[in-house]
Chains A and B, each alone.
Chain A
Amino acid sequence: MSRQSDFAQAILNPDLPVPEGLRNPEGAPAGKRFSVYRNNVAVSLSEALEVTFPVIRKLVGDEFFKAMAGVFLRQHQPDSPVLVFYGAEMPAFLEGFQPVTHLGYLPDVARIELALCRSYHAADTPPLDPTALQTIAPDDLLKTHLHLAPSVHLIRSKWPAGSIFHANSSGGALPTEMHPEDILITRPEFDPRVTILPPGAGAFIDALFNNTPLGDALKQATITSGNFDLTETLGLLLTAGAITRISEGTK
């Protein structure tokens, strides 16, 4: 193995011996001096995860989160120096991490936090002028495509992940029962926002993400829920600046 492979392995695995040929000023083995690197790497990656997953940290507790981050970072090192996007594997990790598998909602809460992070750094796109929809004849409108901003993310959860997120970030009430929720992340100007969607809106927005024409998206939403309210959902999307463009045909 090369020098840097030995070094990298020993940094990540404190059970391995300190690589040979590293000296203190007296020429003796470096010992604790090497631990500076071990500590810097583990602490800084763990802190990067704390920045991205504050609600997960609150849900599992600070001490547990630190220990869990230690396990995570040894399984998943960042694949890029752009650390703001570190932690994409967290939802899948939480699904399989035995001490928390009984908290079934955690992976979806982590998905919300990842989406917030991506939304925060997403490209700036001017929102569609709401009056643009009014200039199209109702029949033509159903054939159009609504294009969503790169800062928009949809999470369709079997759990009340949005309510749990709000309760642990902005102090909302904890859900009284474990119902499914569709959660939308939007970014009006600079600050991403988490919205729990009304019935059918998740199916509707899912269809828009799949480039489905408005009419078919409406059909899918109505099949999902008899209470789907198109005006309300379009209003929600337009107010949040989530729609960037309207187009006809297949594109």
Chain B
Amino acid sequence: MLDTSGTPLQTLPNAPGVGYKPQHFAAIMENPTPVEWLEIHAENYMGDGGRPIAQLRHLAERFPISVHGVGLSIGGADPLDTDHLKRLKHLCDWLNPASFSEHLAWSTHEGFYLNDLIALPYTEETVTRVADHVAQVQDVLGRKMLLENPSSYLAFAESTYSETDFLAEVVARTGCGLLLDINNVFISATNQKTGAIDYIDTFPLDHVGEFHLGGHDQDTDDAGAPLLIDSHGREVANPVWALFDYTLSKTGARPSLIEWDANVPEWPALAAEAARAATILEKAPA
């Protein structure tokens, strides 16, 4: 297990953050209110230089930064891509972010990257593999990571763990923290016809270092049942805000991120979502 006792790390504030988009750079530098921190997708900052890196250096002087990886394929059956792990280490070493997080999902198979966060069955075999990968990431980066719950569209016949038990087991084996995506909880509960409140009630909330809030699209499956898609392309839905409120009543305020990655709006619309998160965070128990 990673020993982080000797390294005091900068942490994210228990306040709203947003997923950073380059088109918002000027607006953020002028007046970020109520946003207090920013999250970047690690893979967009793996070039050698140019404007992306220059902007990031600039932002990091003013805001705590969360590095969120989308391509490490922690749930992959193959060994982790060591080249990619090196790129992540390089980024974390020079940026020294306040947080690093990745997903309970896979995206790379036999060297090819599919650019989606694909679900995995929850079994003894996969819990060992995921825990090994998380431990490897923490060893290479020399920091604790947060692992994010996925959105799911289907279930695996061979699963023997619930998702919350699976995540708790990975935490127990690796000492990692968790990133709880409230929108993903709502999507999965709707798609799987399970209870979102039950999920929150069984989630290892003590280990949550960050919340995600994003928008989803609505579709239907072959039988006409609701099928929610994790699109990050619109405002956070009302039931997701309600679930966030419920979760905060149990955890108190934690760093909470608005994700808006498709059909990205002008800054005021994104800041308004962050303001809505701020209102809920302010009334959460201390």
- The answer for the CA separation of A25 and B223 in the assembled complex, in Å, is 11
Contact among A26, A40, A82 for B43, CB-based, below 8 A: A82
A84 to chain B, nearest CB (A): 7
- The answer for the CA separation of A45 and B121 in the assembled complex, in Å, is 25
- The answer for the CA separation of A78 and B110 in the assembled complex, in Å, is 11
Is A77 within 8 A of B225, CB to CB? no
Is B51 within 8 A of A190, CB to CB? yes
- The answer, yes or no, to whether A15 is at the interface (CB within 8 Å) is no
Is B50 within 8 A of A81, CB to CB? no
Is A22 within 8 A of B155, CB to CB? yes
Which A1-54 residues sit within 8 Å CB-CB of chain B? 2-5, 7-8, 11-12, 21-26, 28, 30-34, 36-37, 40-41, 44-45, 48
Stretch of B70-78, B136-144, B195-203, B244-252 that contacts chain A: B70-78
- Asked if A190 meets B227 with Cβ closer than 8 Å, knowing A32-B222, A77-B114, the reply is no
Q: Which of A33, A34, A191 is the most central at the interface, judged by chain B CB atoms within 10 Å of its CB?
A: A33
| Contact count band on A | 35 or more
- The answer for the CA separation of A249 and B199 in the assembled complex, in Å, is 69
Q: How many residues of chain B have a CB within 8 Å of chain A?
A: 51
A100 to chain B, nearest CB (A): 25
Is A80 within 8 A of B223, CB to CB? no
Is A25 within 8 A of B225, CB to CB? yes
Is A24 within 8 A of B114, CB to CB? no
Which B101-123 residues sit within 8 Å CB-CB of chain A? 106-116, 118, 120-121
- The answer, yes or no, to whether A193 is at the interface (CB within 8 Å) is no
Which B84-115 residues sit within 8 Å CB-CB of chain A? 84, 87, 106-115
Contacts of B106 in A (CB 8 A): 4
Contact among B52, B112, B154 for A78, CB-based, below 8 A: B112
Closest B residue to A40 by beta carbon equals: B116
Contacts of B43 in A (CB 8 A): 81-84
- The answer, yes or no, to whether B191 is at the interface (CB within 8 Å) is yes
- Asked if A8 meets B222 with Cβ closer than 8 Å, knowing A25-B192, A81-B70, the reply is no
Q: Could you give, for residues 167-192 of chain A, a 1 whenever the CB lies within 8 Å of some chain B CB and a 0 otherwise?
A: 00000000000000000000100110
Is B48 within 8 A of A33, CB to CB? no
Is B109 within 8 A of A8, CB to CB? yes
Contacts of B222 in A (CB 8 A): 24, 31-32
Is A82 within 8 A of B71, CB to CB? yes
- The answer, yes or no, to whether A133 is at the interface (CB within 8 Å) is no
Contact among A33, A48, A124 for B49, CB-based, below 8 A: A124
Contacts of B193 in A (CB 8 A): 25
Contact among B81, B107, B111, B157 for A23, CB-based, below 8 A: B157
- The answer for the CA separation of A2 and B72 in the assembled complex, in Å, is 20
- The answer, yes or no, to whether B54 is at the interface (CB within 8 Å) is yes
Is A33 within 8 A of B54, CB to CB? no
Closest B residue to A31 by beta carbon equals: B222
Contacts of A150 in B (CB 8 A): 48
Contact among A5, A44, A79 for B115, CB-based, below 8 A: A44
- The answer for the CA separation of A196 and B232 in the assembled complex, in Å, is 41
- The answer for the CA separation of A80 and B71 in the assembled complex, in Å, is 8
Contacts of A84 in B (CB 8 A): 43-44, 46-47
Q: Could you give, for residues 200-226 of chain B, a 1 whenever the CB lies within 8 Å of some chain A CB and a 0 otherwise?
A: 000000000000000000000111010
- The answer for the CA separation of A5 and B114 in the assembled complex, in Å, is 12
Which B227-286 residues sit within 8 Å CB-CB of chain A? 227, 229
Stretch of A115-123, A213-221, A234-242 that contacts chain B: A115-123
Contacts of A45 in B (CB 8 A): 114-115
Is A8 within 8 A of B110, CB to CB? yes
- The answer for the CA separation of A53 and B52 in the assembled complex, in Å, is 19
Closest B residue to A44 by beta carbon equals: B115
Chain A to chain B contacts (Cβ below 8 Å), 10 pairs: A22-B157, A24-B225, A25-B194, A48-B115, A81-B72, A81-B84, A81-B108, A82-B71, A122-B48, A123-B49
Q: Which 4 A-B pairs have the closest CB atoms?
A: A81-B71, A121-B47, A123-B48, A77-B112
